Chains A and B, each alone.
Chain A
């Protein structure tokens, strides 16, 4: 019964999305009928409420393990811990698409409820655009990915969830990522709305900025969390694999980071009008491309749940309709967008333009590298593109971008003098140069990219806090603090990445119980191996005692797990976090002679990568609070004091 109610709710929500699109269009056609425009907002909210209820219905079905529902039967198991029943709701194709649509609708409702600054007709057009996007994805859900489909007869029990996904990370990584990924639809709809009503200007940019910022914060947290999850769950010792699915989340992040910077130029200085609108379209287009890559089954990955060509074609069609439609609208209307304010070649604006260019180049490199294998496959050739391509190509441009990041905030708007700017960045430059020389002298074996990375990280760390120099820190606006902390986060993350690849030590050995091996500054002893039993798995657990020269010993317990449903084996790595890095241990197999394979890494400063990611997101959150606070003061000056 619950499944039928859920399906009914989904159909109703789709119906409301139709109404939302039609009402919006009608109100734009008939500007004197203000009641039409007024009605769009409650419809958007109601649509979101219905799809949230449908999503709750699906969660309920998973929690009670209703095996008569096909999705539950093929992806869940009654003996699974409740957390994975709950999170398993989106650990499959249909459920994750329902989450996608839910986030889309909730974002639209958020705009309908909270947005008060933008022109009314632009708001209506924005909500209309959001409704039209939702419509396509409702059709996708209802016609080719129905999550509520029944199975008759119901099986005795389900087939279980991929054990790699059976991790607390599943509970928050996909929803967070989706709020970023799909939340970016707001930027797309805003751009479409402003093009429709010819409202591209600073007021529109100021209204759009908090929404972009909010989605970007979620995206940043989602990517950071996903990276750490892959790091400890896969047991390969790496934190980024250039897996197409990782790229699918990185591409919207690159585009929205560029957007975040160009929207600031538009809001503050009324320049870069067309470009900002274009980026808003591109950012969500990248989310849709990512969805296509992940959900069409064209890729092999933990994230690709099912292969079904019909779904791929459906998604591809949606992709062409929405991206093509938005670009066509852009082409038609961009001629009417007035030229923005001018600026000099040395100015904050110019630095931000350069930032956008670098980000675009990285985006292009990642996009081409991600799509190339698919295109090559279409031409009958099987190719894989991995780190040897991405690291140098994207990394070299990223380094230039980070250098620019250190200098940009120290430039004045509109026009500045090159000599003065160089004097302002002199100290960071000297610091970067010192690190460059020091690393070369102390560790000449370090590769070029990590070597430059360490130096640029030092330069950028100093440069990013320089805007606070000689400022009254109490009177510094919150969004300036936000920028400083985010930029510092980039430097910190870069330092972690560079330090890890420069100084990481790896050891692969086979040892007997009681034997000791050495990795980096640690000696690690395999004390013993015991079988243990978990809720839906059994495992062999190694007890290992590690000790740094002269330090106190600590225990690591990596496991090799066997799951029963579906029958799968996974490696649970053991990670010990020290102040200056992590000791990472994976238990392999027992050889014929009774020795155990061990893989050990000492990864100096690797934790900085995720700390940097958190700082970036935290800076974004500060900026968001700061912006919203200031807007409130401007709208309601009496509340200001």
Chain B
């Protein structure tokens, strides 16, 4: 093999690897990116049923309810425009409470409810999920 050819082949292989990574990533992202929704977005754009999403908003006042098994909870997420009932089975984060921000990871059901597999609440008093901050701010300004 000639020197020039080998270098060319190696460069082409490198290119193939990079393009391959890009394609692999693109197809994965298309299927698996979890978009962020606020309850109002669902009202505007319909239910995203086909994939996992993140639902963020405030836990509505007096909406948290416990099932008899002791580990399933029901609550309502709202953003001033709409409300979504959420079901979660697991240990809720410590700062999960009514009238406080929450981000739920999971899927919408055809009936419009949301089954959460994970809940994210504020880590501490100083912390607020940035995506929630943006949304909350948006709703606040909308209300005014």
Residues on A lying within 8 angstroms of B by beta carbon are 162-164, 272, 274-275, 300, 302, 307, 339, 342-344, 353, 357-358, 360-365, 368-369, 372, 376-377, 381-386, 388-389, 392-393, 397, 508-510, 560, 566-571, 586, 588-589, 591-593, 595, 597, 599
Contacts and interface: CB of A to CB of B under 8 A. Distances in A.
Interface in B62-77: 66, 69-71
A586 B1 CA distance: 62
B142 interface: no
Chain A facing B: main interface SS: mixed
4 smallest CB-CB distances across A and B, nearest first, come from A510-B70, A364-B21, A382-B36, A569-B94
Contacts of A509: 69-71
B37 to A, nearest CB: 9
10 contacts: A163-B124, A164-B123, A344-B1, A361-B21, A364-B22, A372-B33, A389-B29, A389-B31, A509-B69, A595-B70
A393 B28 contact: yes
Contacts of B130: 300, 307
B7 interface: yes
B88 to A, nearest CB: 11
Interface residues of B, number: 47
A247 B70 CA distance: 36
Contacts of B10: 272, 275, 353
A368 B22 contact: yes
A364 B18 contact: yes
Interface in B20-66: 20-22, 24-26, 28-29, 31-36, 52, 54, 66
Contacts of B3: 339, 342
Nearest to B96: A589
Which one of B13, B20, B91, B125 has the greatest number of beta carbons of chain A within 10 Å?
B91
Interface of B: 1, 3-4, 6-7, 10, 13-14, 16-18, 20-22, 24-26, 28-29, 31-36, 52, 54, 66, 69-71, 89-92, 94-95, 105, 123-127, 129-131, 134
Contacts of B25: 364-365, 368-369, 372, 393
Contacts of A357: 13-14, 16-17
Which one of A382, A509, A589 has the greatest number of beta carbons of chain B within 10 Å?
A382
A24 B36 CA distance: 51
Nearest to A568: B124
Contact of A360 (B14, B54, B91, B134): B14
B125 A339 contact: no
A442 to B, nearest CB: 29
Given A361-B21, A381-B36, A568-B94, 14 more contacts: A300-B131, A339-B6, A342-B3, A357-B14, A362-B21, A363-B21, A365-B21, A385-B32, A389-B33, A567-B124, A571-B94, A588-B71, A589-B92, A599-B90
Contacts of B124: 162-163, 566-568
Nearest to A507: B71
A570 B123 CA distance: 9
A597 B20 contact: no
A294 to B, nearest CB: 14
A361 B28 contact: no
Contacts of B134: 382
Nearest to A159: B126
A363 B94 CA distance: 35
A163 B94 CA distance: 13
Contacts of B66: 591-592
Contact of B95 (A307, A353, A569, A588): A569
